[in-house]
Homo-oligomer: A and B are copies of this chain.
Amino acid sequence: MFKKICIIGCGLIGSSLARIIKKNNLAEKIVSSNRSDSVNKKVIQLNIVDESNSDTKRMVANSDLIIIATPLSSYEEVILKIKDSLKSGAIITDVGSVKENMLNLVEKNISEKVSWIPSHPIAGTEESGPEAGFAELFQNRWCILTPSKKSKEKDINLLKNFWEKIGSKVDIMSAKQHDYILSITSHIPHLIAYNIVETTLNAQNKTESDIVKYSAGGLRDFTRIAASNPIMWRDIFINNKTNTTKMIDDFIKNLENLKKAIQKEDVKKLEEVFTKTKKIREEIIKAGQDVKKPNFGRK
């Protein structure tokens, strides 16, 4: 499908991409560039790329598709480094969770001869690093493209086709719309998970042992998300500041309402909210976005 693909940053997402690209033969050659030499060694050992080096310019040269898979805070450094080494006609994409800021940052730095088409695969686990990746990560998940002024129509179709060959379903929308929707379905849930675990740790004046012992009562579900990559999530909240802080305010307002209902023993109101929230899970399962088994099938 492509002659040469270059992945910049082989963490969970980057390394999963490398695996599926190799598995499905989507490139004649696949290379990666990582800041750390131990990661460059590791991805060769794992046999998921053909070549890997910290010299990003060299790795990017002659690539038909370049995928930035670093934390958002590294984008500027990456773009400034590679902008003069990009092949004319190349497609450059990313896998970041916030789009509007990054779209503009890259757009103003690259030439007209390159197609810049941001991607966001809605997939991941709480693990990090090249060893945590796996080829099936994107299977049946959505990938959102948020084209820029530098996205050429035929390249959008080619990239869409690429994600579909990886196993994903593709949606196209504006970066602004993306950042709003994802603040709801992903960013706020992560912030809330971090916050509940933080609140829990503070509340315990003795040891953490009671929290650990009785976590099966509900808390353990949140600790999975609150174990996600700290750098990645720090960057997401800062880059989606407006949507995130607005959603925090809405969340707090609703929580204050639930608190009032508890204080007044307003059984009707509580029952109404708790019944309404039940429905959405059935729809998520029907849409194939979660497993049908109780407790996520945990044994």
Contact = CB atoms under 8 A, between A and B. Distances in A.
Contacts of A186: 214, 217-219
Interface stretch (A26-34, A47-55, A248-256): A248-256
Nearest to A231: B271
Contact of A222 (B189, B289, B291): B189
Interface in A184-220: 184-204, 208, 210-220
5 residue pairs, one from A and one from B, having the closest CB atoms: A186-B217, A125-B294, A230-B274, A189-B218, A197-B277
A263 B96 CA distance: 20
Given A223-B290, A230-B270, 7 more contacts: A199-B254, A211-B280, A224-B295, A226-B278, A227-B278, A296-B296, A297-B298
B299 A208 contact: no
A225 B216 contact: no
Interface string A268-299: 00110111111011111001011100111111
A270 to B, nearest CB: 4
Contacts of A193: 218, 221, 277
A203 B181 CA distance: 9
A217 B290 contact: no
B184 A250 contact: no
A171 interface: yes
B251 A216 contact: no
Interface string A122-165: 11111100001000100001101000000000000000000000
B230 A210 contact: no
10 contacts: A123-B216, A142-B213, A185-B200, A186-B217, A194-B274, A199-B247, A202-B250, A211-B280, A227-B281, A290-B298
A245 interface: yes
A191 to B, nearest CB: 6
Contact of A200 (B136, B184, B202, B228): B184
Contact of A290 (B198, B215, B251, B259): B215
A237 interface: yes
A241 interface: yes
Given A204-B184, A262-B238, A290-B223, A126 B281 contact: yes
Nearest to A246: B203
Contacts of A15: none
A200 B255 CA distance: 12
B294 A297 contact: no
Interface string A114-126: 0000000011111
Given A248-B255, A290-B298, A296-B224, A277 B198 contact: yes
A105 to B, nearest CB: 16
Contacts of A274: 194, 226, 228, 230, 233-234
A244 interface: yes
Given A254-B199, A255-B251, A296 B298 contact: yes
